[in-house]
Structure 1
Amino acid sequence: MGHQQLYWSHPRKFGQGSRSCRVCSNRHGLIRKYGLNMCRQCFRQYAKDIGFIKVRGPRRRHSPAGRRTCGPRL
């Protein structure tokens, strides 16, 4: 059995080795939610084209240093 017969011969049905990005074939940082199957870098590049928009929540105001925001003020 030569190298060509043994290289990548183990079946990849489960786990990280069985999945890759549909755009660049990268196996790291894969987003599988909603069937995207894209790495995070490609997702950032194509998010607008796919139809994703950024939604910013309400901005929280940080209390000044040394002030307690919970409980009665003494």
Structure 2
Amino acid sequence: MGHQQLYWSHPRKFGQGSRSCRVCSNRHGLIRKYGLNMCRQCFRQYAKDIGFIKVKAGTRAVRGGTGGSPYADSSPRSLAAGLSAGRMRLSPELPGPP
């Protein structure tokens, strides 16, 4: 058995080694919530394009607020519009969703 047959031969079906960022293929700081599968740096870069809106602390309602995520819009519709099945494809010449 040569080196090529042994190197990276262990199956990676689960765990950190099996997942990577869909934009830059980084394995660290991965955000998997809502099926994003993006590293935190790429998420900050593309958050507005995907449809996430950061809510300021002073604008949150006192009663009835969820107090959860700092991003207001996290619906699957906006995520599907911004993300492709494979890598992220963002073209400035294409119009956005209606």
TM-score past 0.5 threshold: yes
Query: 1 or 2 for the larger relative contact order (CA 8 Å, sep ≥6)?
Result: 2
Distance 1:67 1:49, change over 3 A: closer
Secondary structure, aligned partner of 1:46: helix
Q: TM-score, normalised by structure 1?
A: 0.73
**C-alpha separation in 1, matches of 2:25 and 2:7:** 18
Runs of 4+ in 1 over 4 A off after TM superposition: 65-74
Superimposed CA distance per residue, residues 4-59 of structure 1 (whole angstroms, 9 cap, x where no aligned partner): 1111100001100000000000000000000000000000000000000100x999
**Unmatched segments (≥5 aa) in structure 1:** 60-64
State the Cα distance separating 1:67 from its structure 2 match. 54
State the Cα distance separating 1:72 from its structure 2 match. 59
Instruction: Calculate the aligned-residue CA RMSD, in Å.
Output: 15.5
**C-alpha separation in 2, matches of 1:6 and 1:67:** 29
**Unmatched segments (≥5 aa) in structure 2:** 56-74, 78-84
Q: Note if contact 2:22-2:88 (Cα within 8 Å) is conserved in structure 1.
A: no
Residues 1-74 of structure 1 mapped to structure 2, 5 A cutoff:
1-55=1-55
**C-alpha separation in 1, matches of 2:46 and 2:5:** 38
Distance 1:49 1:3, change over 3 A: same
**C-alpha separation in 1, matches of 2:21 and 2:87:** 48
If you compute each CA radius of gyration, which structure gives the higher value, 1 or 2? 1
Q: State how many pairs are aligned.
A: 68
